[in-house]
Amino acid sequence: MYDSRQILRDRFPFSEFSAPLNQFEMMNGKVVLKLYELMQRLINTTDRKPWVKVFTDTKCGEPRTRPRFKHVKLKMSPTPPKAYPHHNSLQSSNSSFSHLQTSSLSPVTMTHEGKLPPIHRYITTHRPDGKAIFSTELSENSIMKPLPDNMAFALSYTTQTFPVDMSSDKDVGQYSKYLDNAPGLVLSSGTVLRHVDFPPGMTCAMHRTVSLDYGIVLEGVVECVLDSGETRRLARGDVCIQRGTMHAWRNTSETEGCRMVFVLQPCEPLEVGGNTLVEELGTTVGIRSSD
């Protein structure tokens, strides 16, 4: 039997935290680590990565309807722990904890791996009799795909012409081709609907797209940073209209992920001060130039 205290001690880096275990369910005599989700929210993503020490706990007993346990008090420790000696066999012998297993003890900060809810994208169409229905041609899940810098993109829809040709669901077919081969940030003849997750504490590369963009905050708080040094703080529901400017996005929280949704539309060549502005991706990685 594996000791949940040992797993917590060895696996999770984050700031000081105290929580009663009686908030969590029991399964097979062990605490189901809903605590895991709370811990992720408190992970410190700065260079100083304190590690968990568990000071008080009680052993897990038999399953019960309302388990009663003492508080678990966690405090920072300056050095990371040694690897749990039996971690290689943990997944095979106890599936309840299999989602905790990774090949290293690095902090979990990727917002597209469980920290933010999945995205559902519902596409409508018509029956032959003209009645509206929901399309079943594509999955209703818009999947977040990670980038090398720990951001994540979900390509939720695209169009290739304006106005859009929706006859015989032509636009749905055109969009589906990009699901396995994502375009650049902008499509030169159509629109892009993209969800973006920013992990805690991250500032993306300064960049410019030749487009008019609507950026709406869905979860968390983000700061829009312009190359002039000006900034604006956006909270849930706020929108930023990007008009071909150099900008970056900064997640100001060290513990919470941020999610935005962008609608990008190509624009005519933009001239400022006698210079024609072009796409600039800066130090962005994992994103190709726009089509």
Highest mean pLDDT range out of 16-20, 21-25, 46-50, 191-195?
191-195
Q: Is residue 291 part of a domain?
A: no
Q: Give the pLDDT confidence of 263-273 residue by residue, as tens digits.
A: 999 999 999 99
Residue 9 has pLDDT above 70, yes or no: no
Give the pTM.
0.63
- What average pLDDT does the segment 207-215 reach? 97
Q: Is 252 found in the same domain as 127?
A: yes
Phi/psi-derived region of residue 78, left when phi > 0, alpha when psi is between -120 and 50, beta in every other case: alpha
142, part of any domain: yes
| CATH code, domain carrying 254 | 2.60.120.10
Q: Is 269 part of any domain?
A: yes
Task: Flag the least confident range among 57-66, 228-237, 274-283.
Answer: 57-66
Please give the sequence-ordered ranges of beta strands (E in DSSP) within the chain, or none if there are none.
17-20, 26-27, 30-31, 51-54, 71-77, 119-120, 124-126, 132-134, 141-142, 145-146, 152-158, 192-198, 211-219, 222-226, 231-234, 239-243, 247-251, 258-266, 271-272, 275-276
Which residue, of 100, 128, 155, is where some domain finishes? 100
Same-domain check for residues 72 and 127:
no
Domain hosting residue 205, numbered range: 119-276
pLDDT of residue 113: 56
Q: Are 142 and 38 in the same domain?
A: no
Q: Residue 286 falls within a domain, yes or no?
A: no
The tens digit of pLDDT for each residue in 148-184 reads: 988 999 999 999 999 999 999 999 999 999 999 999 9
Q: Is position 141 within any domain?
A: yes
pLDDT tier at 223, thresholds 50, 70, 90: very high
Domain-embedded: residue 109 = no
161 and 205 housed in the same domain = yes
User: What is the rounded distance in angstroms from the CA atom of residue 156 to the CA atom of residue 164?
Assistant: 16
125-142 average pLDDT score: 97
Residues 94 and 128 reside in one and the same domain: no
Query: Does some domain include residue 253?
Result: yes
Same structural domain, 91 and 199:
no
Asked if 229 and 140 sit in the same domain, the reply is yes
In terms of domains, do 159 and 80 share one?
no
- 106 in any annotated domain: no
Q: Is the dihedral of CA 228, 229, 230, 234 positive or negative?
A: positive
The answer on 132 and 70 residing in a single domain is no
Q: Are 137 and 72 found together in one domain? A: no
CB 238 within 8 A of CB 265: no
Q: 185 with 226, same domain? A: yes
Boundary residue ending a domain (70, 100, 130): 100
Q: Where is the domain boundary, 46, 73, 100? A: 100
**Do 241 and 135 lie in a common domain?**
yes
| Total domains present in the chain | 2
